Amino acid sequence: MKGFVCKVCGYISINGTAPEKCPVCGAPKTAFEDRQDAIKTPTDNVNLGETDKKHIPAITVVKKCGLIPEECQDVHVRIGSIQHPMEAKHYIVHIDFYLDKEFISRVILTPGALNPAAALHLKAQSGKLSAIELCNIHGAWINEADL
C-alpha cells in the first residue's frame, strides 16, 4: 500500500499527501519519501499465512468506556491473531493510530517489557480508525475498523 514515509521517524502519511511537517517528529516535508510499498497487506485475505497472522493489527472498539464514561469509547489493538514476539531481536517498534486517514497518536513499545498491544480513549463517536504497526524485521502493516 502506498504512503509517504518520514525518513526520520518512520511515520507514514496515508491521506495521499506528505505533510508540511511530520506530526510525530517535526521533520520537514523534504524528509518524506513517496513509497508504493510503505505498508504491507496480505496477498490473500481469506487464507492468511503465519506472517500475516503475526502482523495484522486486530482492532476492538468498545463503545462504552470504563474510565471516561462521558463521550468516550475505547479502542484496543493487539498485534496479530497469533501474538507477535517482543524480543530484542524481533519486536513491534510502535503502533500509529489514524482517524479518517489523519494521524492522532503513536504508542511506542519496548521489547521484553511490553506485550504487542495498545489502547486509546477516543472522543470521536464515528469515522474510520486505522492502526499501523511497525515490526523491526517485517515492516509496517495496517488494519482498519469503523467506529
Predicted local distance difference test score (pLDDT) of residue 66? 84
Predicted local distance difference test score (pLDDT) of residue 85? 96
Predicted local distance difference test score (pLDDT) of residue 77? 98
Predicted local distance difference test score (pLDDT) of residue 42? 85
Predicted local distance difference test score (pLDDT) of residue 117? 98
Sheet holding 73-79: strands in order across? 57-62, 73-79, 117-122
Predicted local distance difference test score (pLDDT) of residue 69? 85
Same domain, 29 and 56: no
Predicted local distance difference test score (pLDDT) of residue 110? 96
Predicted local distance difference test score (pLDDT) of residue 70? 87
Same domain, 29 and 50: no
Tell me: the pLDDT tens digits for 58-72? 999 998 888 998 889
d(CA 35, CA 19): 15
Same domain, 65 and 124: yes
Same domain, 65 and 33: no
Interacting residues of 95 by C-beta distance below 8 A, sequence separation 6+? 57, 77, 79, 106, 107, 109, 118, 131, 132, 133, 134
- 30 phi/psi in degrees, rounded to 5: -65, -15
Same domain, 105 and 122: yes
Expressed as residue numbers, the domain containing 139 is 46-146
Predicted local distance difference test score (pLDDT) of residue 46? 85
B/e letters for 116-128, b = 16+ CB within 10 Å, e = fewer, are: bbbebebeeeeee
pTM: 0.95
Residue ranges, the chain, pLDDT below 70? none
